[in-house]
Amino acid sequence: MPIDVAAEVIANHPLSSDYNVLALAAPAIAAAAAPGQFVMVKPGTGFDPLLRRPFSIFEVLRDADGTPAGLTILSKRIGPSTSLVYDARPGQRVAVLGPLGRPFTVVDPPSEGWMVAGGVGLAPFATLAQALRARGVETTLFYGARRAAELFYLDFFRALGVELVLTTEDGSAGERGRIVAPLDRRLASRAASQPVMLYACGPEGMLAATARTAIAHDRPCQVSVERVMGCGLGGCYSCVIPMRGDDGAFHHVRSCIAGPVLAADQIRWD
């Protein structure tokens, strides 16, 4: 059952003029969360915005003895709610509902785990990387952003033993271009006998390109889709996505409850 709390803001760390990490005291949600799940957040008390917004659970914060104490969200400012998240101050209360949705399926060795992140699509991969590394899975993060200054938490992933493959659109860090290019090359050079699970999160165009690449190389791929979500609970149908059903036909499913993590090869990418 999702838990609804008025969580106190513990800290707000700006990462750039648009990105920030907001730490929230929501221990019960943090304790129940699995990698890939999300929370519905309302940072203000007024009517604008009226509805909560979905955010991936970025990190689970723990006390010195390992007890979950809270969670963080990684936010990119694009509108009213994400602006309130950017401006939130310690001590303020934020409505947080979660954990919600279906998480990633975490593989075991000998499979490798390759995470593919575009921009703020990095958010579900901190907890996934921890889960993969805890199982001894060789883990790679393919991470693309517009510029070097928008590549965040690289040392966090390095400290976990995650290999980083970076791209930027302006060439200021890593390879110039889109992240699917090095992913495609890596997949092409990998023997079919070496299993790998792909995990992707980012803009829908990037997810579609990743899905096509995974299918072309006959590799399984789990994508975390980011449809507009009005409720996060299955009640409003704002988040539907066409998925292949058992009958082979496409049906619209509610990505907040069937996902947000879905099998890439079952989605119709228009």
Ligand X SMILES: Cc1cc2nc3c(=O)[nH]c(=O)nc-3n(C[C@H](O)[C@H](O)[C@H](O)COP(=O)(O)OP(=O)(O)OC[C@H]3O[C@@H](n4cnc5c(N)ncnc54)[C@H](O)[C@@H]3O)c2cc1C
Tell whether residue 131 is a contact of ligand X (CB under 6 A): no
**Residue for token digits 């496409």?**
250
Q: Is 99 exposed, middle or buried (0-12, 13-18, 19+ CB in 10 A)?
A: buried
Cβ proximity of 170 and 147 under 8 Å: yes
Residue 261 binding ligand X, by CB under 6 A = no
The answer to the question of residue 186 lying near ligand X (CB under 6 A) is no
Q: Which does 55 bind (CB under 5 to 8 A by kind): ligand X, ligand FES, none?
A: ligand X
Nearest distance, CB of residue 236 and ligand FES, angstroms: 3
Q: Single out the residue of 9, 26, 29, 73 in contact with ligand X (rule: CB under 6 A).
A: 73
Q: Which residue number, 74 or 239, has a Cβ lying nearer to ligand FES?
A: 239
Query: Exactly one of 79, 189, 248, 249 binds ligand X (CB under 6 A); which one?
Result: 79
Nearer to ligand X, 98 or 182 (CB): 98
Distance CA 35, CA 160 (A): 15
Concatenating the DSSP letter of every residue in 176-190 gives: ES-THHHHHHHHHTS
Q: Give the C-alpha separation, 221 to 211, whole Å.
A: 7
Residue 252 interacts with ligand FES (CB under 6 A)? Answer: no
Q: 74 vs 214, which CB is nearer to ligand X? A: 74
Q: What's the rounded Cα separation, in Å, for the pair 234 and 119?
A: 27
With binding defined as CB under 6 A, does residue 120 bind ligand X? yes
237 touches ligand FES (CB under 6 A): yes
Site for ligand X in 18-47 (CB under 6 A): 38
Q: Residue 112 binds which one of ligand X, ligand FES, none, with CB within 5 to 8 A depending on kind?
A: none
Tell me whether residue 56 or residue 140 sits nearer to ligand X (CB atom).
56
Could you identify the residue written with the tokens 């579900």?
Answer: 124
Sheet with 53-56, edge to edge strand ranges: 53-56, 38-42, 93-100, 3-14, 19-25, 68-76, 59-62
147: how many CB neighbours lie within 10 A of its CB? 13
**Closer of 111 and 238 to ligand X (Cβ):** 238
User: How far is the C-alpha of 72 from the C-alpha of 209, rounded, in Å?
Assistant: 29
Site for ligand FES, rule CB under 6 A:
229-232, 234-239, 254, 256
* Interacting residues with ligand X (CB under 6 A): 38, 49, 53-56, 73-76, 78-82, 120, 123, 226-229, 260
